[in-house]
A and B are shown apart, each in its own frame.
Chain A
Amino acid sequence: GQQLNQSPQSMFIQEGEDVSMNCTSSSIFNTWLWYKQDPGEGPVLLIALYKAGELTSNGRLTAQFGITRKDSFLNISASIPSDVGIYFCAGPGYGKLTFGQGTILTVHP
């Protein structure tokens, strides 16, 4: 089946630093989704990408859909403590979403 590989698995950063994480796949995706999961909650969609090469921003978040359609990147600028959580990439196919393993982000004040 389809698999998504996320890196890094975890990050420990200081408040105010920028963060970058990525997701790669052996398969081509036509859509890339980035979710965030707060502790004790379900994942919530942050950004959706629908076109190869697309660069989309949502506040301090910026995500890009790789030109090969096999990868995507998520950047967070000027991190704050509430950015802590698990970030997942997801790609649709065959009527369902496949999720990456997640990147655990810890932000030290």
Chain B
Amino acid sequence: DAGVIQSPRHEVTEMGQEVTLRCKPISGHDYLFWYRQTMMRGLELLIYFNNNVPIDDSGMPEDRFSAKMPNASFSTLKIQPSEPRDSAVYFCASSFIGGDTEAFFGQGTRLTVV
């Protein structure tokens, strides 16, 4: 398996623009997680899905953030409108059983909002 695949690897956008981050989890994994990493706040869980259903979105910072998982092999994280403080590395991770076991991470998307 190729592992968790995220795209794009890097994204630079202007403030106010819409940004869409994409993730393909490992085949057969029922859980998908979106994390944000910054120097100040470390790794923060934004939202996670189980069997394509959002279970906990309490980490989503604002209504500007939204996430979807239309099928078992694809998820998106959208920011609209983007702001400079959204600049961070966004990781997608998936796991087979759930949060009680290892989560496999993608390589991340480095987002810069100018």
A-B pairs, top 5 by smallest CB distance, nearest first, are A42-B105, A96-B99, A92-B100, A99-B43, A95-B99
Decide yes or no: A95 and B56 within 8 Å by CB, A41-B107, A42-B106 being known contacts.
yes
Decide yes or no: A101 and B108 within 8 Å by CB, A95-B48, A96-B48 being known contacts.
no
CB contacts (< 8 Å) of A44 on chain B: these are 105
A93 at interface by CB-CB < 8 Å = yes
- A95 adjacent to B102 (CB under 8 Å): no
CB contacts (< 8 Å) of B50 on chain A: these are 95
Measured CB to CB, the closest approach of chain A to B21, in angstroms, equals: 13
B103 at interface by CB-CB < 8 Å = yes
CB contacts (< 8 Å) of A101 on chain B: these are 42
Number of A-B contacts (CB under 8 A): 55
B101 at interface by CB-CB < 8 Å = yes
- B91 adjacent to A42 (CB under 8 Å): yes
Measured CB to CB, the closest approach of chain B to A104, in angstroms, equals: 10
The residue that A31 contacts in the complex, of B43, B93, B100, B105, with Cβ under 8 A, is: B100
Measured CB to CB, the closest approach of chain A to B107, in angstroms, equals: 5
User: In residues 33-57 of chain B, which contact A (Cβ within 8 Å)?
Assistant: 33, 42-43, 45, 48, 50, 55-56
Measured CB to CB, the closest approach of chain A to B110, in angstroms, equals: 8
Measured CB to CB, the closest approach of chain B to A3, in angstroms, equals: 11
Q: Roughly how many angstroms separate A33 CA and B4 CA in the complex, as a whole number?
A: 19
Q: Roughly how many angstroms separate A30 CA and B100 CA in the complex, as a whole number?
A: 9
Measured CB to CB, the closest approach of chain B to A4, in angstroms, equals: 10
Q: Roughly how many angstroms separate A96 CA and B47 CA in the complex, as a whole number?
A: 10
Max chain B Cβ within 10 angstroms of own Cβ: one of A41, A88, A95: A95
